[in-house]
Amino acid sequence: MQREEKQLEASLDSVLLKLNEIKSQLVAMLYKIDHERDSLQWPTFLDNFALLSGQFSAISKVLSHDKTPPIRNLTVLPLLLNPEREEELIRLTEGRVPAFTHDLVPDYLRTKPEPDVEHKLLQLEHKAASLSYDAAQKQAATFNKVITHVLDIVSKSREEWESEAGSRGGTGQTSSMSDTHSLVAAVGMGKGLKMMMPQPGAPMGPGMMVAPGGPGRTVAPVMPMGPGGQPMGMMGKTPSGIKTNIKAAAGIHPYR
């Protein structure tokens, strides 16, 4: 008896340790859902769910171990029911159960589902048992067909997304930031511009400038400016439609 009691205590301690780990994982997941729902991503949620699944698998291994006594054969009975507030019970349950009353005992020490849930389970089991073999196989085949179709759609979408991502990543560079900065500086501030030397056999007008890079690049004529900001090439006599009569100054005397 003492040996069985020690094995039971060791098994309960290991199960309690795993349950505390599951509880901490659940608290962390609920906190993220409540406070980080805007920044929470689906892969992160799946990682937390995978951790919970691993913890439940660990509990199943502990319970199915050969040295673990069958806990399902044991019965838990309340030794004392007290409607008054118990501080030790509050500490053990982390503030969830203030008193071990008659209303809470059926819920916390329940070994079977609630009556409503148990009734629904019985209805589903009866419906499944009354279903014929051919009808069950037909429904299973239809369900598998739908699942396969959805899987094909997801796989096709994933392949298209990966191909588009690969094609976007393989696009070559079609611009150069250094050349762009050089052109902007040359056009805006005249940086790097110099007089182009006349080539043999190629007439060149006055004020011709060449862009950085030497002959063969973009050449733009630069017209010298005159007073008032007007190009000198455009300065000249403007034809007027007003007729004037100009007399010689020698033929005019103010005292005649």
At residue 149 the predicted structure's pLDDT band, cuts being 50, 70 and 90, is very high
Strand-pair partners of 147: none
Question: In the prediction, which pLDDT does 220 show?
Answer: 46
**Does the predicted TM-score (pTM) go above 0.75?**
no
Residue type, 133: Y
How far apart, in Å, are the Cα atoms of 106 and each of 83, 109, 112? 14, 6, 10
- b (16+ CB within 10 A) / e for 152-179: eeeeeeeeeeeeeeeeeeeeeeeeeeee
- Pull the structure tokens for residue 26: 């659940």
Q: What is the mean pLDDT of residues 149-169?
A: 85
- State the residue for tokens 């103010």: 254
Which is more confidently placed, 169 or 32?
32
CATH topology of domain 1-74: Methane Monooxygenase Hydroxylase; Chain G, domain 1 (1.20.58)
pLDDT tops 80 at residue 54: yes
pLDDT tens-place string over residues 240-254: 455 555 555 555 555
| DSSP state at residue 43 | H
pLDDT tens-place string over residues 186-237: 888 878 777 666 665 555 554 454 444 444 444 444 455 555 555 544 444 4
- CA-to-CA distance for 237 and 57, rounded, in angstroms? 101
Q: Which of 108-122, 165-179, 216-230 has the lowest mean pLDDT?
A: 216-230
Question: In the prediction, which pLDDT does 211 show?
Answer: 47
Question: In the prediction, which pLDDT does 234 show?
Answer: 46
Contacts of 237 (CB under 8 A, 6+ apart): none
Domains of the chain, by residue range, sit at: 1-74, 76-111, 113-155
pLDDT tops 90 at residue 153: yes
Task: Quickly count: other Cβ atoms within 10 Å of residue 210's Cβ.
Answer: 19
Question: In the prediction, which pLDDT does 43 show?
Answer: 85
pLDDT tens-place string over residues 120-146: 999 999 988 888 888 889 999 999 999
Q: What is the mean pLDDT of residues 29-41?
A: 84
pLDDT tops 60 at residue 39: yes
Question: In the prediction, which pLDDT does 79 show?
Answer: 84
Contacts of 206 (CB under 8 A, 6+ apart): 224
Strand-pair partners of 209: 195, 220
- CA-to-CA distance for 140 and 4, rounded, in angstroms? 46
pLDDT tops 70 at residue 84: yes
- Pull the structure tokens for residue 220: 């733009």
At residue 1 the predicted structure's pLDDT band, cuts being 50, 70 and 90, is low
pLDDT tens-place string over residues 92-106: 887 888 888 888 888
